[in-house]
Amino acid sequence: MYINSGYLFQSRVPFKEKKRALRILSAGTYQLLTRPKLPTWRPKGRVDWQLIYISAGEGHFMLNGQEVIVPAGNMVLYQPNKEQHYYFLGKDKAQYWFVHFTGRTVRNILKHCEIPLDGYILHTGLSYAYEDLFKKMRDELVECAWGYEEKLTYLFRELLIEMNRRMNENEKKISGFVQNEIDLAKAYFRDHYNEEIGIEQYAASRNMSTSWFGKSFVEYVGKSPKQYILEQRIRNAQELLETTDGTVSEISRIVGYENPMYFSRVFKKAKGMSPVKYRKVYRGE
């Protein structure tokens, strides 16, 4: 079994926060690799809130007196002092992420983000963004760098916003498979934007036709894969022009263009001015 978690003050003892609006107590992940079963049973629940995101496999939850199988792409929200009875099976190759939180205005924060409080299961869909935010919260709890508690609340609120967006997208009848594939593609393009990315090769690596992938990407994201990659390159070029003294040639290579002149033309078309002029305007020269 794989475990990677972080706890506030390195303590696993939950508590109810009465003064602060929001406080993150723990976050992390469990993945069943060799263990056949991972059960959890808290008859009286906990004094804090818990949000569970199932990213792989499925979970078995006892809700309102009956067992409910919750597949990947869903979250389960436990309110304070509510019985928690669930388990995951190794044969399902299950993995889930969790966050425990508390605070005097938690209920209002959830309502503001339109998170339903009248049940347990939230149909949020699969998303790389979820895992990324859970990881960041866990890392903040482990590292305890300056301002980490404030950073935790920002990350948690970002998670709620992402959940709201995905749940609204789900209402448009976008299938979980398509959503997951496009999220994976976006994450890959963000991480490798400065490399030579062949859309045909990428689609083939995911066992998809180029036309189907391109059409689905446009429908889901609102732009083509090439446009999305271009935006990543231009956005990072802007940051480099704003924060460094690197030459246009150096920045061109960093963001994935071997030809500085071509990069300048692409940048000007996107931003309405050349890279050199953009830097001067930004710096007020």
Predicted confidence at residue 174, as pLDDT, reads: 53
The predicted model gives 94-108 an average pLDDT of: 96
What is the spatial distance between Cα 202 and Cα 197, in angstroms, rounded to a whole number? 7
Can you give the pTM of this predicted structure?
0.63
The token duo for 171 is: 């209402």
pLDDT, one tens digit per residue, over 133-145 is 999 999 999 999 9
DSSP code at position 172 = T
CA 69 vs CA 2, 75, 91, 154, 238: distances in Å? 22, 12, 14, 31, 47
Q: Are residues 250 and 200 in the same domain?
A: yes
Q: Are residues 164 and 257 in the same domain?
A: no
The token duo for 194 is: 């400065």
Q: Are residues 223 and 258 in the same domain?
A: yes
Helix (H) or strand (E) holding 126: none
Is the pLDDT score of 34 beyond 80? no
Is the pLDDT score of 81 beyond 80? yes
Instruction: Provide the number of structural domains found in the chain.
Output: 2
Lowest mean pLDDT across 16-30, 51-65, 209-223, 252-266: 209-223
The DSSP bridge partners found for residue 85 are 41
Residues 6+ apart with CB under 8 A from 216: 178, 181, 182
Please give the residue range of the domain that contains residue 32: 2-168
Q: Are residues 32 and 161 in the same domain?
A: yes
Query: Could you tell me how many residues make up the chain?
Result: 285
| Domain CATH number, residue 239 | 1.10.10.60
Identify the domain boundary among 138, 168, 198: 168
The token duo for 234 is: 């231009």
Q: Are residues 197 and 264 in the same domain?
A: yes
Identify the domain boundary among 168, 190, 213: 168
Count H helices, E strands: the chain? 10, 10
Q: Are residues 159 and 185 in the same domain?
A: no
- Mean of the per-residue pLDDT values of the chain: 91
In 199-270, which ranges are E strands? none
Q: Are residues 6 and 134 in the same domain?
A: yes
Of residues 35 and 86, more confidently modeled: 86
Predicted confidence at residue 177, as pLDDT, reads: 67
Give the pLDDT band (50/70/90) at residue 250: very high
What is the spatial distance between Cα 17 and Cα 151, in angstroms, rounded to a whole number? 17
Q: Are residues 153 and 186 in the same domain?
A: no
Give the pLDDT band (50/70/90) at residue 259: very high
Identify the domain boundary among 122, 142, 168: 168
